């Protein structure tokens, strides 16, 4: 209980600090701030995000870019299994190692992430984003407007991943059970499906307006919740299955209850996380290839890249 109180206090202090930081920034950059404060489109989307805890933006990305990334992803999965890892019995292990052990990873793990088991190799996700130019000048500007308006401070990119959720009989676990992301009192994630996702693909599932719960992190006393607990606490109408098309963007405040539903068809999804500080107050830096970092810097600006560092 004491830990919960301390966490609430730290969230509050950090939120006040970063709100103040944003106000100073806006005063110093009046022309730029007026441009996004008066952006009607972002205001409408932020209002929806405030109300429900999520918003689905149709046709946010170029469909051809998404198709190309989807094809590239499966090509990598089929030919470079060492570039993917999964968790088996809480151990982080590459897919090629599982294969060498005669383990059919599609039947034994819920998901695999495109990345490395070596902590110093953090560039995979950002290499993908820059390689396929998912975020162009227009959609990056719109997204930054939404993030800043909703959070009321200038957020940072804190992490993300590109993953495939396998279809198998492994029981739902971890992020496939309802939970909150205890990374701040407000915390936004962007979700990008690389193909059309319906109920069979296990869409992001959100409890509408649960981001507004008073003292919401009291739930940390129990980190995972099954469907019956959630429906009993809220109601069936509050459970929203966020199906979407491949070029859509989903933004969600994941301090509200959410999960990835258990899927019966494979699902490939990219996520990107935004907050004022590294997640759970960790001083975590991600090291990117120098070329990737420069492209990220050009698209996002230095303010968003506090926790991203170029490899020397």
> pLDDT of 51-109, one tens digit each?
999 999 999 999 999 999 999 999 999 999 999 999 998 899 999 999 999 999 999 99
> Region 12-29: what's the mean pLDDT?
58
| Residue 31 confidence (pLDDT) | 43
Dist. CA 158–CA 292, nearest whole Å: 16
What pLDDT digit, counting tens, does each position of 113-157 carry? 999 887 667 899 999 999 999 999 889 999 999 999 999 888 999
Number of neighbouring beta carbons within 10 Å of residue 310: 16
Q: Is 50 exposed, middle or buried (0-12, 13-18, 19+ CB in 10 A)?
A: middle
Name the band, by pLDDT with cuts 50, 70 and 90, for residue 34: very low
Name the band, by pLDDT with cuts 50, 70 and 90, for residue 37: very low
What pLDDT digit, counting tens, does each position of 159-180 carry? 999 999 999 988 887 888 999 8
> Region 14-37: what's the mean pLDDT?
53
Q: Is 101 exposed, middle or buried (0-12, 13-18, 19+ CB in 10 A)?
A: exposed
248 conformational bin, left if phi > 0, alpha if psi -120 to 50, beta if neither = beta
Q: Is 240 exposed, middle or buried (0-12, 13-18, 19+ CB in 10 A)?
A: middle
Q: Is the pLDDT of residue 255 over 70?
A: yes
Q: Determine which of 26-35, 36-45, 97-106, 216-225 has the lowest per-residue pLDDT on average.
A: 26-35
Dist. CA 61–CA 74, nearest whole Å: 20
- Give the pair of three-digit tokens for residue 132: 């396929």
Query: What string of DSSP letters covers 4-19?
Result: HHHHHHHHHHHHHHHH
| Residue 4 confidence (pLDDT) | 57
Q: Nearest-CA neighbor of 19 among 155, 144, 140?
A: 155
Number of neighbouring beta carbons within 10 Å of residue 130: 21
Q: What is the DSSP letter of 264?
A: S
Mean pLDDT of the chain, nearest integer: 86
| Residue 2 confidence (pLDDT) | 62
DSSP β-bridge partners for residue 310: 288
| Residue 12 confidence (pLDDT) | 60
In this predicted model, which residue has the larger pLDDT, 258 or 33? 258
| Residue 5 confidence (pLDDT) | 58
Q: Of all residues in the chain, what percent are helix, strand and coil, respectively (each to 5)?
A: 45, 20, 30
> Region 253-257: what's the mean pLDDT?
92
| Strand 84-88 relative to strand 91-94, pairing | antiparallel
Q: Is the pLDDT of residue 227 over 90?
A: no
């Amino acid at each position: 209980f004491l830990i919960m109180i301390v966490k609430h206090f730290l969230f509050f202090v950090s939120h006040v600090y970063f709100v103040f930081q944003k106000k100073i920034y806006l005063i110093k950059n009046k022309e730029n701030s007026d441009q996004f404060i008066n952006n009607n489109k972002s205001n409408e989307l932020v209002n929806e995000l405030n109300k429900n805890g999520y918003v689905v933006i149709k046709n946010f990305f170029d469909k051809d870019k998404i198709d190309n990334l989807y094809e590239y992803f499966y090509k990598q999965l089929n030919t470079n299994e060492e570039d993917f890892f999964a968790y088996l019995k809480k151990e982080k292990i590459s897919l090629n190692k599982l294969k060498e052990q005669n383990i059919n990873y599609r039947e034994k793990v819920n998901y695999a992430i495109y990345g490395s088991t070596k902590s110093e190799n953090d560039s995979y996700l950002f290499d993908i984003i820059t390689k396929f130019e998912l975020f162009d000048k227009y959609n990056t500007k719109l997204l930054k407007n939404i993030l800043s308006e909703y959070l009321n401070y200038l957020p940072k990119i804190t992490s993300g991943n590109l993953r495939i959720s396998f279809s198998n009989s492994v029981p739902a676990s971890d992020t496939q059970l309802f939970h909150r992301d205890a990374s701040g009192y407000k915390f936004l994630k962007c979700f990008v499906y690389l193909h059309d996702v319906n109920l069979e693909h296990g869409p992001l599932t959100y409890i509408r307006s649960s981001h507004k719960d008073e003292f919401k992190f009291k739930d940390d006393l129990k980190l995972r919740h099954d469907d019956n607990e959630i429906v009993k606490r809220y109601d069936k109408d509050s459970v929203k299955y966020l199906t979407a098309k491949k070029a859509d963007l989903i933004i969600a405040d994941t301090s509200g209850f959410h999960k990835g539903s258990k899927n019966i068809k494979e699902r490939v999804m990219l996520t990107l996380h935004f907050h004022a500080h590294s997640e759970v107050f960790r001083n975590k830096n991600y090291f990117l290839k120098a070329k990737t970092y420069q492209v990220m810097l050009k698209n996002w600006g230095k303010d968003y890249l506090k926790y991203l560092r170029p490899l020397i």
